Amino acid sequence: MQKTEWYKNAVVYQIYPFSFMDANNDGMGDIEGILSKLDYIKELGVTAIWFSPLYRSPDYDYGYDISDYKDIDPQFGTMADFDRLLVECHKRGLKVIMDMVLNHTSTEHQWFKEALSSPDSPYRDYYIIRKGKTEKGKLLPPTNWASTFTGSAWERIGETDEFYLHLFAKEQADLNWENPAVRKEIVDILNFWLAKGVDGFRFDVFNMFSKVYPLQDDHQKHTFQTGAQYFVDGPRMHEFLKEINEKALSLYDTFTVGESFHPSVEAAKEYVRPENHELDSIFSFGHFGSDTIASKQFFWKPMNLRQFKEGLLGPQIENYGSGWNTLVIENHDNPRAVSRFSIDTKHYRYEAGSMLAMITYLGYGTPFIYMGQEAGFTNTDFKSMDQLKDSVSHFVYDLMLSYHIPKGLAFRFIKYGARDHARVPMAWNDSVNGGFNAGHEPWQCVNPLYKKINIKADLESSRSLIRFYQKLLAFRKDNETILQGAVTEFDHEHKKVIAYSRTWKKDCLFIFANFSNKPVSYTLPEAISPTAVLMSNYSDLKLDGRTAELKPYQAVVLQAETES
């Protein structure tokens, strides 16, 4: 199938179905709710929707533990509802991207149940099951690896001496990709959805599919032996991706984006190199580490702008002309952008939100917008641990307490990085539960700020961030320089300003922004000669000769001439 590469001019909106819109008022989001908001999404100027998992799941990890890959979870609706959703999206010119979690299945998946039902079950080899080690008469897990979600990565099977591997929660058993029967099932699942008409996939932690065998202990001197070198970018990764590409993805005009777990720079490039026929793109999250210690989500540090620039712009520069990129500033696994990166959200929520959108989405790649981000939704001021529903928040909190970190401090850390911030119900208006539903208690508490910060209020405001997003996406659309131009970074060492140019043929755009809450005087690089101001998130720009007087969080796009 000849690919049209439609994704290169696409803008993707991510929906976390639990929290988007609850039409039947049972406390959980649903497909009917999503259907009622498709016109809103379309009007933003996006062209595709990525749905976080809608499949059947017991929800230990809110849909990322799938128990049936070919069914819709009843709490969201039926397969007929999904089919209608697909039709309605397509009717509006919106492509549909499904989340695919193929590193692990739920332990409630039929395969896993069968695997455990008998030692002779062929399904045993669908998973990674090993005998434990006995040391000094004590039964220990087969290796010392720690799960990404804390604790051992192995769970003992009943009273036996065997364990199964789970690199995430114990309810998420890792699949054995070495087994051709597993890969056949996977190809079949992908084709099932493609035949229905979905347009692409987001692959969850894909670069963990291939493990190094025989499995062995991690002897690195870290606080936690994760074993990462034995399962990240494993030896058969490229082969596995090529296989699913050949047998499923390449048969349709698809788009794929891989979510990877700390990939090496070299491997990341290979996954998306077009000649390799693996994935179209992967997410780059490097900039998310700019305000956390050692990229550990819960450990706050003041934002380091240089690190942010490297994370955001590095992959765009590295991959130029080779692999395709994605442009992301929020998702369901991270706190809200305007509440992090040391942003003064109290005074400059609109300015910072629009600045982030400009510097992110004028880059080289496909923009991904996380629901609510377009209205500058903030973090929630959670009052206690029981308001947090994500098990990761609890696992990490318990781990901190086990290291004698005082409760108050541990709670502050968790509150800083919690995935829960992105997962509170959408605030559509100022009515009960922010208009998420008709009043039933939502599965996760609403952000009490909904009375002030909600979609309706934003749209009615003279400084509407949503309208700014619409303007920005319209500016971007069909702009050859934004879509194809090379990225050159300037003033990398500058501690307050981020600046880069996009050049295509004879055209040059210069994008720069003040990433601080203080005015900044910024002199344009020698190579840039401005000819016009094309866009800014303030109504005016003070440009005195070559020096711009930038207001807090002011971002600007200039039409420019370059020397080259």
CB of 228 to ligand TEU, least distance (A): 11
Q: Are strands 520-523 and 547-550 parallel, antiparallel or unpaired?
A: antiparallel
Q: Which of residues 353-392 bind ligand TEU (CB under 6 A)?
A: 392
Determine if 186 is a binding residue for ligand TEU (CB under 6 A).
Answer: no
Q: Does 205 bind ligand TEU (CB under 6 A)?
A: yes
- Tokens representing residue 298 in the block: 């819960």
Please, which residue, 259 or 458, has the CB nearer to ligand TEU?
A: 259
Decide if residue 174 touches ligand TEU (CB under 6 A): no
**Closest to ligand TEU by CB, 243 or 259:** 259
Closest CA to 357 of 519, 474, 262, 501: 474
Q: Does 171 bind ligand TEU (CB under 6 A)?
A: no
- Pairing relation of β-strands 138-140 and 528-536? unpaired
Smallest gap from residue 517 Cβ to ligand TEU (A): 28
3-state secondary structure of 44: helix
The closest of 333, 357, 328, 312 to 417, measured between CA atoms, is 333
299 near ligand TEU, rule: CB under 6 A:
no
Does residue 437 interact with ligand TEU by CB under 6 A? no
Two structure tokens written together for 19: 């929290």
Taking alpha carbons only, the member of 257, 217, 213 closest to residue 235 is 213
Kindly tell me which of 143 and 391 has the beta carbon lying closer to ligand TEU: 391
Per rule CB under 6 A, count of chain residues that contact ligand TEU: 14
Active site residue 155: no
Residue 32 annotated to the active site: no
Of 288 and 350, the one with the shorter C-beta distance to ligand TEU is 288
Give, for 402, the enclosing helix (H) or strand (E). Answer: helix 391-402
- Half-sphere exposure of 167 toward its Cβ, with a 13 Å CA cutoff? 27
Q: Which residues contact 493 (CB under 8 A, 6 or more apart)?
A: 306
Q: Give the three-state DSSP class for 130.
A: strand
CB 74 within 8 A of CB 138: no
Q: Tell me the C-alpha distance between 483 and 477, whole Å.
A: 8
Interface pattern 130-169 for ligand TEU (x via CB under 6 A):
------------------x-------------------x-
Q: What sign has the CA pseudo-torsion 103, 104, 109, 115? A: positive
Of the two residues 104 and 502, which places its CB atom closer to ligand TEU in the complex? 104
Per CB under 6 A, contacts with ligand TEU among 3-42 are none
Among 106, 152, 226, 297, binds ligand TEU (CB under 6 A): 297
Residues from 265 through 294 that contact ligand TEU (CB under 6 A): none
Q: Which two tokens stand for residue 182?
A: 């597993």
Contact between 204 and ligand TEU by CB under 6 A: the answer reads yes
Rounded CA-CA distance 67/197 in Å is: 22
Q: What minimum distance in Å lies between the beta carbon of 288 and ligand TEU?
A: 9
- 333, 351, 420, 458: which one binds ligand TEU (CB under 6 A): 333
Please tell me whether residue 59 binds ligand TEU under the rule CB under 6 A.
Answer: no
Query: CB 492: neighbour CB atoms within 10 A?
Result: 13
DSSP H/E element including 369: strand 366-370
Q: Could you say which of 22, 30, 59, 61 contacts ligand TEU (CB under 6 A)? A: 61
64 interacts with ligand TEU by CB under 6 A: yes
Is 101 an interacting residue with respect to ligand TEU (CB under 6 A)? yes
Cβ 101 to ligand TEU shortest distance, Å: 5
How near is the Cβ of 394 to ligand TEU at its closest, in Å?
12
Q: Can you tell me the distance from the alpha carbon of 123 to that of 106, in angstroms, rounded to the nearest whole number? A: 14
342 neighbors 517 (Cβ within 8 angstroms):
no
330 lies in the binding site for ligand TEU (CB under 6 A): no
Which of 9, 35, 38, 41 minimizes the C-alpha distance to 23? 35
Per CB under 6 A, does 351 bind ligand TEU?
A: no
Which one of the listed residues 59, 65, 204, 330 is annotated catalytic?
A: 204
Torsion angle of C-alpha atoms 412, 413, 419, 424, degrees rounded to 10: 0
For ligand TEU, give the closer residue by CB, 30 or 204.
Answer: 204
Of 259, 278, 280, 374, the active-site residue reads 259
DSSP state of 334: S
| Stretch 209-238: interaction string toward ligand TEU, x if CB under 6 A | ------------------------------
Nearest approach, Cβ of residue 156 and ligand TEU (Å) = 21
Nearer to ligand TEU, 417 or 485 (CB): 417
φ, ψ of residue 272 in degrees (nearest 5): -110, 0
Cα 16 to Cα 99: distance, rounded to the nearest angstrom: 10
The residues annotated with a catalytic role in the active site are 204, 259
Query: Site residues (CB under 6 A) for ligand TEU?
Result: 61, 64, 101, 148, 168, 204-205, 259, 261, 297, 332-333, 392, 419
